[in-house]
C-alpha cells in the first residue's frame, strides 16, 4: 500500500511539473508576442514621422497647390521648391554637367526621397516632354530585369502600349 501511494505521488509530481512547464512556456510565448506587437507598432508609427523629417531635411521650401474647383473636390499637394507638380507627383529636372551613370542618378534621387522618372499615363508623358529640353539626354526609371523584362524603379511593370 505504501508503495502504491508513493507511485501515485510521483505521478502527481510529474504531472504538476509538466503543467508548470506548459504554463511557463505559454507565458513566455505570450510575452514575446506582446513585445513584438509593441515594437512593430512603434516602428510603423515612427515611419511617417521619419519620412516627414527626411523630406524636411532634403527640401527646406515647399510649394503647395490644390486640384479641383470646389472646396469639397480640392486635393492639396506639396512639392519642394523648384520641382514641377503634375497630378499627385512632383518632378525635378536636373541639368547637371557631369555624366553620371544610371545607377548613380537613381542613387542621387533616392537621397532626395525620390526616384528616376516613372511614366504612368500618356498625359504624364506629354507633361514631361513639355518640360524637358529637346536636345538634352535624360535617364528615366526603366530597367531590364533580364531577358527583356522591363520594370519601372517603383516596381510597376512596363506596359509598352501605355506610353
pTM over 0.75: no
Chain segment 96-130, per-residue pLDDT in tens: 556 788 888 888 888 888 899 998 888 989 999 99
> How many contiguous H segments (helices) and E segments (strands) does the chain have?
3, 6
Domain residue ranges of the chain, discontinuous segments joined by +: 1-58, 59-87, 93-163
Domain 93-163 has CATH 3.10.100.10: yes
Of 159, 87, 156, nearest in space to 128 by CA: 87
Backbone angles phi, psi at 120, to 5 degrees: -100, -20
Amino acid at each position: 500500500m505504501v508503495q502504491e501511494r508513493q507511485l501515485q505521488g510521483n505521478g502527481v509530481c510529474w504531472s504538476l511539473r509538466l503543467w508548470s512547464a506548459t504554463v511557463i512556456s505559454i507565458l513566455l510565448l505570450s510575452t514575446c508576442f506582446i513585445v513584438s506587437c509593441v515594437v512593430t507598432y512603434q516602428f510603423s508609427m515612427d515611419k511617417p514621422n521619419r519620412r516627414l523629417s527626411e523630406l524636411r531635411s532634403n527640401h527646406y521650401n515647399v510649394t503647395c497647390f490644390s486640384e479641383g474647383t470646389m472646396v469639397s473636390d480640392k486635393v492639396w499637394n506639396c512639392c519642394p521648391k523648384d520641382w514641377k507638380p503634375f497630378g499627385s507627383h512632383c518632378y525635378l529636372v536636373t541639368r547637371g554637367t557631369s555624366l553620371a551613370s544610371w545607377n548613380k542618378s537613381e542613387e542621387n534621387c533616392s537621397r532626395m526621397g525620390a526616384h528616376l522618372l516613372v511614366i504612368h499615363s500618356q498625359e504624364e508623358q506629354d507633361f514631361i516632354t513639355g518640360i524637358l529640353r529637346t536636345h538634352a539626354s535624360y535617364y528615366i526609371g526603366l530597367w531590364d530585369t533580364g531577358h527583356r523584362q522591363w520594370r519601372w524603379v517603383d516596381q510597376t511593370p512596363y506596359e509598352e502600349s501605355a506610353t
